[in-house]
Structure 1
Amino acid sequence: MKKTLLAELFFFLIITSLSAQEAIFRAEQLTSPEIEGDVVTFRFYAPKAQKVEITGDFLPTEKIDSPMGTIDSPGKAALTINENGVWEFKIDKLQPELYSYSFHVDGLPATDPNNPFLIRDVASVTNIFIIEGAHADLYRVQKVPHGTVAKRWYPSDGLQMERRLTVYTPPGYESSAEKYPVLYLLHGAGGDEEAWISLGRTAQILDNLINQGKAKPMIVVMPNGNVIQDAAPGEGTLGFYKPQFMIPKTMDGTYEENFMEIVNFIDKNYRTVPQKSHRAIAGLSMGGFHTMHVSRFFPDTFDFIGLYSAAIMPREDASGKVYKDIEGTLKVQRDNGYKLYWIAIGKTDFLYDANQEFKKLLDEIDMPYTYVESEGGHIWRNWRVYLSQFAPQLFE
């Protein structure tokens, strides 16, 4: 009886091993994406599928309705199937960039099973790849000295919880006694303390800019701007749940009012230069909104301010004290002085008009700023570039 059981177990293990090896070998034989210069081929094994499409930010955009209004979204392209049941799509002349994509198989969204490199943006998970060259080389891990990325928890008395933030320290921080300037980098709606480090490639950009001598070594702090969360979904005490684009209290003034808790924690726990001249704050979309309001609510705290595709004015129902007398507090910020007030926006961004109105207000009160207008809309492709352009201007 024992021999029979042992034989069955042995047979089961052999079959399982062969099945696993077959899956491994099949995956190895199928390369997707296959990058040859500026030509990329995508493949998806689905012999029984009726239709396979790809969507990615390298395809022509289409207009869709979203919680942010009508926005540009990546279009779709059809794959063709070969005799082996492998669907293929080829695209050429791709410019250097970090791209994201996913598939639709008979209408159902799917990631590329042959590409293990993924990013999460709100609740959407997509694959990524890089076409090397030009500014895209800033997004790659190069053979340069590297900084350290840490996840830290800080006590928030105002929000009555321990909260998590992401901190980048520059190469050599641990082995030196030097004090460093700090950039506070804020995410957009639906993001969290993971957004800038994963989607924004902050560590790679800073490592490469610092190595090239184009940016000063700095600490970069990436907080969670969702005040009802202690950390990103799946990383905090709320456990695993589906991330949402907008959650309660994200733009009601609570975050801005309690922001100095973050600054004080960083100054206490890191070797910083705790002066206005050595602090910068920047953010995208909702993070740009928070940046604008934090910097004027605490007008003697930051000498460098960056608004990337920023939401500007509070909603009509926003009643937080942060949003009182916006023009008056901007004038105080102006009179206190600063070194750089930097505004960047894409020409087709749905927040373009709001940024033009904000520029008019700044012009009316003689508040100096630098304005950068780029192609494209409300997309990470722009925000990575904005960070790459903004960081070299800091702490001069």
Structure 2
Amino acid sequence: MKLLLGLFCLLVGSYAQAQMFNRTPTPNDTLQSTKVLDNGDVQFQIYAPEAEKVTLGGDIVPWGTKLKSEKAANGVWTIVVPNVKAGIYRYNFMVDGVKVYDPKAPDAYKTSALVDILPAGEQEFFAVRKEVPHGAVSAIQYYSETTGTMRNMQVWTPPGYNAKNNKLPVFYLIHGGGDSEMAWPGVGRAGIIMDNLLAEGKCREMVVVMPDGGMDVNLFVKDFVNDIIPYIESNYKVYTNAGNRALAGLSMGGLEVLESFMAHPDLFAYINVMSSGWFTNNKEMYETGDKRLAEIAPTLAKTVKLLKFTQGGPEDIAYANGKEMLKVFDKNGIDYEFSEMPGGHSWQVWRNDLKNFAPVLFK
């Protein structure tokens, strides 16, 4: 019997993130929070090493049933619900009396609360302005032949897009590890930034596609090229040539950008790798990358109008990775621009990256 919980573990590049942050891995990195056992029971787990009491709530728990909760030495709590019938259920953990939604559930990390901190009277480039016409950010589901599943992306279209028949260029914008397709339109404020830039005459009209990059980097590249780009070009009024495609991504998304244009050097004319680079302790990355750059250098020279690398200064956790990687680009004669600003590995930096990159696209 197939149990349709709709609750699955999302392993979002835990190895890559651990490498990038140079931190000690924890059991939470590979924890599968929900698992259907062979006997029909359902096992729930949460990593809470400092907690004294963890229980389970929601309609997955039979009324009046007290479930056993056990804490392992590694800080993982386990609760088993017996004999669960097929269906879709809601659940939550209670950690020392506080209601906690499963941080490992696929959609849990898409619902972070946001708070705007803006100086009084200051019109920040990412602030909502009532006098500015606003485009639409649409939640799109598409079937991925690559993964055999339905996947999600967010798409920004400029004001009045649906009333016009003209084609537009496309800008693909990827989030970092541990985030989702909701990151750029949410905390990244991509739609609002684009609204403001367009209203000020600082950028061209374009379609901005923000896919879900929370998967293995190589698998994402296949999904991106074989499923996402064809979907956009079949369902939106957009140009389909390299000169009208741009690509950018941050952190783990920057690795996905690197892999995408190195695998397909003839697909994008504008590229921005934000706060990312090959891991300095990964010899294979450098050897493979060096060989591939030598192969594609002539194609990049013909196709790419702008290749840009940006960092959040020396305090950016990816700074050393990125700087070391650029030596390989130099060795192979790849033209690029480099810039940095204070702020580290943060949205403060990446929002500025978007503000600076969008105006130079498709000129």
TM-score, normalized by the shorter chain, greater than 0.5: yes
Give the match for residue 269 of structure 1: 235
Q: Which runs of 5+ in 2 are unaligned?
A: 1-17, 24-96, 100-107
Give the match for residue 244 of structure 2: 278
Matched, 1:381 2:348: yes
TM-score, normalised via structure 2 length:
0.66
Give the match for residue 48 of structure 2: none
Give the match for residue 22 of structure 2: 69
Deviation, structure 1 residue 145:
1.4
Deviation, structure 1 residue 365:
1.1
Structure 2 CA distance for partners of 1:145 and 1:122, relative to 1, 3 Å: closer
Give the match for residue 339 of structure 1: 305
- Confirm or deny: 8 A CA contact 2:169 2:238 kept in the other structure: yes
Give the match for residue 361 of structure 1: 328
- Confirm or deny: 8 A CA contact 1:168 1:203 kept in the other structure: yes
Matched, 1:184 2:175: no
TM-score, normalised via structure 1 length:
0.60
Q: 1:206 aligns with which of 180, 194, 211?
A: 194
For 1:316 and 1:365, the matched residues in 2 are separated by 19
- Confirm or deny: 8 A CA contact 1:299 1:336 kept in the other structure: no
- What aligned pairs does 1:92-241 form with structure 2 within 5 A after superposition? 125=113, 127-131=115-119, 136-227=124-215
Structure 2 CA distance for partners of 1:297 and 1:176, relative to 1, 3 Å: same
Deviation, structure 1 residue 334:
2.4
Tell me the matched-pair count: 264
- Confirm or deny: 8 A CA contact 2:306 2:336 kept in the other structure: yes
- Confirm or deny: 8 A CA contact 2:20 2:279 kept in the other structure: no
For 1:193 and 1:317, the matched residues in 2 are separated by 31
Q: Which has the higher contact order (CA 8 A, sep 6+)?
A: 2
For 1:204 and 1:359, the matched residues in 2 are separated by 32
> The residue matched to 2:185 in structure 1 has which SS?
helix
- What aligned pairs does 1:42-81 form with structure 2 within 5 A after superposition? 68-69=21-22
Give the match for residue 275 of structure 2: 309
For 2:332 and 2:280, the matched residues in 1 are separated by 19
Moved more, 291-300 or 140-149: 140-149
Structure showing greater radius of gyration is 1
> The residue matched to 1:342 in structure 2 has which SS?
strand
Give the match for residue 261 of structure 2: 295
Letter in 2 for 1:223: P
Letter in 1 for 2:209: V
For 1:156 and 1:121, the matched residues in 2 are separated by 21
Structure 2 CA distance for partners of 1:309 and 1:358, relative to 1, 3 Å: same
Deviation, structure 1 residue 155:
1.6
For 2:113 and 2:195, the matched residues in 1 are separated by 26
- Confirm or deny: 8 A CA contact 1:345 1:374 kept in the other structure: yes
- Confirm or deny: 8 A CA contact 2:204 2:359 kept in the other structure: yes
For 1:130 and 1:121, the matched residues in 2 are separated by 24
Structure 2 CA distance for partners of 1:109 and 1:140, relative to 1, 3 Å: farther
Larger strand fraction of residues: 1
For 2:283 and 2:326, the matched residues in 1 are separated by 23
> The residue matched to 1:166 in structure 2 has which SS?
strand
